[in-house]
Amino acid sequence: MVVPDDEVQSQAARFAGRLAAGPTAAYAGIKAQLRYSATHGLAESLEYEAQVQSELGGTADHRVATFAFLNREQPVFRGC
């Protein structure tokens, strides 16, 4: 995102707020998968991805997201 100099701080704070309110457990899982895949082959990386996604599928945030999607609501994530 490109913003004028005088808006950098406010836009950065807004963006940080959006990230913090998002599915932080999923963000952590994505980061872990990227780190893993940087040092492992495709087959191992896909296996690891399946493991992480399976774990994330059992989180409260996943249940909240699914419920919100089915009910056309905004999810409220708690990071667990």
pLDDT tens for each residue of 47-62: 999 999 999 999 999 9
Domain membership flag for residue 76: no
Q: Sign of the CA dihedral 56, 24, 80, 39?
A: positive
Spatial distance between the Cα atoms of 62 and 32, rounded to a whole number of angstroms = 18
Identify the domain containing residue 28 by its residue range. Answer: 8-70
Q: How many domains is the chain built from?
A: 1
| The length of the chain, given as a count of residues | 80
> Within a domain: residue 28?
yes
**52 falls within a domain:** yes
Q: Rounded CA gap, 8 and 1, in Å?
A: 10
Contact in structure between 8 and 31 (CB atoms under 8 Å): no
H-assigned helices in the chain: 8-21, 24-37, 42-56, 60-70
**CATH code (residue 24):** 1.10.12
pTM of the model: 0.80
Residue 23 lies in a domain: yes
Q: Answer yes or no: are the C-beta atoms of 76 and 61 closer than 8 Å.
A: no
Kindly give the parts of the chain with pLDDT less than 50. Answer: none
Residue 1: the pLDDT is 78
